[in-house]
Each structure stands twice: as structure tokens, then as C-alpha cells.
Amino acid sequence: MTLKKLLLVTAMVLTGSLSAAQAATSEINVAYVKSPFNLQNIVMKQNQLLEKEFQKDGIKINWVSINSGAQQAQAMAAGSLDVSAVMNTASLLMANGAGNKIYIATGVARPTQVFAVVGKPGKQMKIEDLKGKKVAGPKGTALHQILVAALNSKGMNIKDVEFLQMDPAKAQAALLGGHVDAALLAAGLVIKANASGAKTIVTADGYVNPLLVMAASEKFVKENKPLLERIVKVHRQTTKWIGDNYEQAIAMGAKEEGVSLDDAKKLAQWSHYFDVITDNDMNSLKLDQTFLIENGMMQNKVNTDQLVLPMARQ
């Protein structure tokens, strides 16, 4: 066989393998994460943009509501979740440190004031007032990281509080019901808690640089990279659409989160939406990993640069 024919046959085999792999994909399981105020995800789902993108391929999009990054990572490890439209990088790093490989496909938001430690109604509390107190919130998340960073700033650590694992909605209910002294809340839950008399103790600002990204399991990246690239394309088109149709997008987000238009605009301003991962974001991943390991929140060190797919940087 000539070299030309050999190359041709090889190309045909590779193309056939790729087509077969994609043809075998009949559905994609995507995490729907509306909180803290993920407009891109809200718009994508409500306007059925992914469904329209893959309709011609006969691929079904299954939206799975999983708000916690830690739970998303567990679902990916179990094979029941392919892509998370929004995952915080603290959860992503911790998962990778535990051997559960998850990759960053594109950026979503750099929220700062959206995440907060909120104290019970009554006297304004300081972070040092939480010593020995009950604090409820989701473990292994950006919110958990913010609490630890704030405690560290006052010479304390997570062992100085009675930390209760709880999802944000239940944590808010426990806070307003007087069952805990503080709660780790985000977005609309912060606004609603404040409206009920609860007072914000600290936000992420000055403690952590939260980074929200679109993430995918190692299996999906290896087997369906072209499909992931199309999902990223739709996500970035959605980000642009939001900029061009801001009022309409805000109205959609307000309705989904159950907040006023004014509060929705505030949450959007706090979110700092973006798409392409920058050098600063790459450095933040390194700093976050150092923090997580030093505070016993991450098991093993990983090469953070390798967690960012080339498509996320383009």
C-alpha cells in the first residue's frame, strides 16, 4: 500500500470513529444552575437554545437541577452528568484533587457581592462573633471557601464554629427560623434574607475571587469534544444576546429567581459575566488551590493549567 493510500485509509478510520462516537451520543445531561444569578443558563434553558442546536442531530438535552458544585462533581463521577452550565472553581478544584477529573470549557461569571455570610436578624454581627456559633451552608463550595477565608482573617478556622452542612435555601430557612446564627447564602437568598431583617456579615469581596465556569466530565471531553465545543458556542452566543437584549434577559432572570426587576439588575451587575478565561483567571486557580490545600479542603495538588481546555482560552 502506498503512503498516500495509507494516509487516506487512516483518515477514513479516524473520521469514522469520530462519527460513530458522536452518533452514539443520543442525549446530553446538563446541570441547570440558576443561582446565584446565572443569566446565561436561565436564557439558554428558557429559550431552548441547546435543544435547537442539537435538534438536527437527534440529540436530547436533559436539564438536571443541581445547584451545589460538590453535588455536580459527584454526579459527574457517577456518570449521570456530562456538563455543568455553571460550576464554582472551588468545587472543581476539590473534585480534581480527589481524582475526579473535571475540565473548564468556558467562563461564566466573576461574582463578588453575590456570595455572602449572613447573620441572623437583630444586632449586626462581625465575623469574629461567629466563634462557637452555628453556621449553616453548603460544604465544598465557593460559599464554604468564603467562610473559611473570613474566619482566617480573624485568626480563626472552620473548627471555631459549629458548621452545619445544608443547601442555601434550607440554610436561609434555618437562619430566619432562629435555628442557626449565620448562613452561607447567594444572590436572591441574600436579598430576601436582608429584607426579612437578617444582616450581611461579609461578602466574597476582599476574601475570595469567586470564579464560575462551565465544566465537563473527563469522559464527555474525551468522547464528545466537538459536541462540547458547540455547547460553548451556544453559551457565548447567549452571553452576547444578553448584552444586546439586556432588559428582556433581566426580566427572565427576575421571574426565575423570584426577585424584583431592580434586584435582578443589582444581581446582574454584581455577577460580572464573561466567557474567555484570562491569565488572571489562570492565576486565581493557582491561588485558590493553595488556599484549599492549606485549609484542608483539597486532598492533592493538581496542575491547574491542565484543567482549562484550549477552547476556554479562545
Banded model confidence at residue 239, pLDDT cuts 50, 70, 90: very high
CA 152 to chain centre: 24
State which residues form the domain around 64.
28-112+211-313
User: Are 188 and 160 members of one domain?
Assistant: yes
Tell whether the model's pLDDT for residue 3 goes beyond 60: no
Tell whether the model's pLDDT for residue 13 goes beyond 70: no
Tell whether the model's pLDDT for residue 158 goes beyond 70: yes
Give the CATH number for residue 175.
3.40.190.10
User: Are 219 and 72 members of one domain?
Assistant: yes
User: Are 34 and 85 members of one domain?
Assistant: yes
* 37 Cβ neighbours under 8 A, 6+ residues apart: 111, 114, 187, 188, 253, 257, 264, 267, 268, 270, 271
User: Are 272 and 123 members of one domain?
Assistant: no
Tens digit of pLDDT for each residue in 279-311?
Answer: 999 999 999 999 899 888 898 999 999 999 999
Tens digit of pLDDT for each residue in 37-86?
Answer: 999 999 999 999 999 999 999 999 999 999 899 999 999 999 999 999 99
C-beta separation of 151 from 161 below 8 A: yes
Mean pLDDT throughout 106-120?
94
User: Are 101 and 125 members of one domain?
Assistant: no
DSSP at 59: P
Tell whether the model's pLDDT for residue 5 goes beyond 70: no
Banded model confidence at residue 24, pLDDT cuts 50, 70, 90: confident
Q: Structurally, how many domains does the chain consist of?
A: 2
User: Are 191 and 171 members of one domain?
Assistant: yes
Query: Residue 16: inside a domain, yes or no?
Result: no
